Structure 1
Amino acid sequence: MKKVILLLAVFVMMTGYIFSGQTITIKGSDTLVRLGQRWAEEYMKQNQGTVIQVSGGGSGTGIAALLNGTTDICEASRDMKEKEYKLAESKGIKPYRVSVALDGIAVFLHENNPIQELSLSQLKGIYTGAIVNWKEVGGPDHIIILYGRENNSGTYAFFKKRVLNKEDYADRTQTLPGTAAVVNAVANDQYGIGYGGLAWAKGVKFAGVKESDNDKAVMPTVETVSDGTYLISRDLYWFFNCKPTGKLKKMLNWCLSDEGQKISESIGYVPLSKEQASANLIK
């Protein structure tokens, strides 16, 4: 009998905790997932009783989850598409978008690749298939091996819009499920090229990017992304199904605080300026 009472007590405690409203779910961008996890770890340390569950899957997956009501926060490395906004409207949802960090999409090369820089037109040619051999851009006489992201990725969509001018990727592009996989592939392929968030680059080198052949190439760094001189820069977003209040407002404002932004920089992301972070706070 005592055992039954004890089990009931544990059940009541657990269900009370589960329904206490202190669980926050975050889902979406693989570019942002490391930052989301790091923020969650630190926030839970400071807010005992709050449980934060963070998962990736891609920006498109996160947006779908937000609109289906299966996540509290969507992490996205792109804005919502027009059809996604229309779907939200049809469900009576008014998505609330907040920039939480900045990012540069770096162009990854193998460390032994002699190429140091590429223009936007060269990158477009490489990824649309118009340029197929490294010798066409000053490199060795070898076919270029293309690595990219899957089409549910915000990075895939942003790169296609910004670099490919919305043209299709070459059919021979090998699509991989996350930036870490792209980095790993290029690190092990002397003739490979890839792209992805600046924070993920380990064991590869960057190509400087320039507007045209006559311009000076710019490397992706915290400084060049912050001041906008790096050409493939973007905002990283959190989406909510309405203007956040309560526990979601509290967490968002903490992420936008000096402490939260310092964490983003410490793991390779680009923090917002103090002015932008302050402007994004929910009053």
Structure 2
Amino acid sequence: MDINGASAIVTGGASGIGAASARRLAARGAKVVIADLKAEEGEALAKEIDGVFVPVDVTNTDQIIAAIEKAVELGPLKAVVNSAGVGWAQRTIGRDGEFASAHDLDLYKKVIGINLIGTFDVTRLAATAMSRNEPGPSNERGAIVNLASVAAFDGQIGQAAYSSSKGGVVGMTLPVARDLSAVGVRLNTIAPGLIDTPIYGEGPESEAFKAKLGESVLFPKRLGVPDELASMVEELITNSYMNAEVIRVDGGIRMPPK
């Protein structure tokens, strides 16, 4: 699928995998809307790639619609990348046998709300806009890539909320792709492994920690870099025969319990 002259939206696009994906899509000629809460970073990246920054909380439907409307102003919306997400760790029950020590239910709902419901909300609204496009070759109107995680399959101790949310993203891939096939919109999901993003911090201690983490990767024994994920995003957007797939990009890692 050719995205030159079309518009694209990347949620969580101000940093990490989202930023790398935005750069890749812009290099393909797309006008990219950076949809994020990080205004300073988002505006700087938008300027760098000749795109637009729109402040978006993916739990706010009105803000999602505003980003889609801005994208449509720039060109037909043909590509969407859902990389906005959060993650917290907490065990399901406490050690003292008290109800109050069990997993914070509001925290669980928040992670589900951002990672799963937010992803679905962007998907349903963006696909609606894509359905209005003139069909291209193979009657294609657009493509969506969602970001899950290997935690969807190999959830570790304390990852109940995060793994639930990412498992939901994996689980909706096939049925949503089937729904969207009626209007010529493809949907795929990427499950990243350990990726070197700002979440790990900076400095010697951070580098030592990341090196230790990298030892658990099958090969190569290091963390992945955002552009290695973004290259797969680009492929899934532009390869018209990729649809309804969940692809692990993880160096072969299988996460241990902890």
TM-score in terms of structure 2 length: 0.30
Higher helix share: 2
Higher strand share: 1
TM-score in terms of structure 1 length: 0.28
Higher Rg = 1
